[in-house]
Structure 1
């Protein structure tokens, strides 16, 4: 079960605009976590799991690591297909780049998703599983 994960970004303000925008259609929120990071998750009553997003260099990075060198993929659950479409539109309006428009995915029954790249090239997905 996921507890948390994190990504390092180059421009915190740009990343915050992007994640604030995609939070709305997914029923999620962002929360400031200090001057160098913020959290992306449900709410104060249900704080875990969360995605940590910040500009600090993690202690576990190997030499030569930098933001965007290892593209990350994170899929967020969407409540329905409309939320997936709203996620995609919000992401594109907030400096995201299309990486797969909303629709069913081959080989995955009852699945509807959309992929976008955040400002640092991380692959962010919204997914709805029917039934």
Structure 2
């Protein structure tokens, strides 16, 4: 079980627009981040339960953000239509396509997904899969 996932970003306002466009169609909401002395950040989660969470942070060390080679964050979508909508809205907010929405039969007969990069190069996967309970994040 994950507590949270964090990606580094170079422009927090741009990241907020991008991740709102990507995550709201998937049923996630943005939550207030309580200042903890760390760098500014934004956070999204499923309304209930409060975990897991996804964070976009300016790097703590003040250095430029960079994406990890081989790293990817995958978000569950409640329907294939939500995959299509989230992909399109994220591209409209500066994302870069890495694989259009569609069936991914090599992963399972009803697996439906899309791939893209956020404006900082972080790789994102959006997936609807029948083995997820209620199609929601767990």
- TM-score band w.r.t. shorter chain: 0.7 to 0.9
**Cα RMSD after superposing both structures:** 1.9
Distance 1:23 1:51 in 2: 10
* 1:113–1:69 distance in 2 versus 1, CA, 3 Å: closer
Q: Which runs of 5+ in 1 are unaligned?
A: 59-64
Using structure 1 for the length normalisation, give the TM-score.
0.85
Q: How does 1:101-116 map to 2 (within 5 A)?
A: 101-109=100-108, 110-116=110-116
Distance 1:79 1:69 in 2: 27
1:57 pairs with one of 56, 60, 77: 60
Q: Report how far residue 8 of structure 1 moved.
A: 1.1
Q: Report how far residue 103 of structure 1 moved.
A: 0.7
Higher strand share: 1
Q: Please say if 1:8 is aligned against 2:17.
A: no
Q: Report how far residue 27 of structure 1 moved.
A: 0.6
Number of residue pairs aligned between Structure 1 and Structure 2: 124
Q: Which runs of 5+ in 2 are unaligned?
A: 132-138
2:41 pairs with one of 18, 30, 37: 37
Ranges of 4+ aligned residues in structure 1 off by more than 6 Å: none
